[in-house]
Amino acid sequence: MPNLKSAKKDLRQNKVRRARNLSAKRELRTYIRKFREACAAGNVEEATAALPKTFQKLDRAAASKLIHKNTASRLKSRLAQRLHKVETAAK
């Protein structure tokens, strides 16, 4: 346990930030999961509608350094590839 007043405050701030970050990451994973589930079900309309919102969440997470920008870019690329596969399979 911290003894200094500033260290105690740092501990309080870290708890709040950790909770906020975990919540944001959980929300991000939910959007990605919903998109992947729509793709797995072959639901092109739902997947197409979910992709821009998922991209927005990834961009916002990268901008706030919740995830690395290259990780966001990689995920966006993979999700776009997955949608393309589902669209071509549906035709």
* Domain at 44, CATH number: 1.20.58.110
What integer pLDDT is reported at residue 37 of this predicted model? 97
Exposed e or buried b per residue across 7-21, where buried means at least 16 C-beta atoms within 10 angstroms of its C-beta: eeeeeeeeeeeeeee
Domain residues for the domain of 85 are 5-90
84 half-sphere exposure, CB direction, 13 A CA radius: 6
Token digits of residue 10: 């740092």
What integer pLDDT is reported at residue 39 of this predicted model? 95
- Structural domain count, the chain: 1
Quick check: pTM over 0.85? Answer: yes
Reported residue count of the chain is: 91
What integer pLDDT is reported at residue 26 of this predicted model? 98
| Residues of the chain with confidence (pLDDT) below 50 | none
What integer pLDDT is reported at residue 91 of this predicted model? 77
- Tokens 């992947």 belong to 36
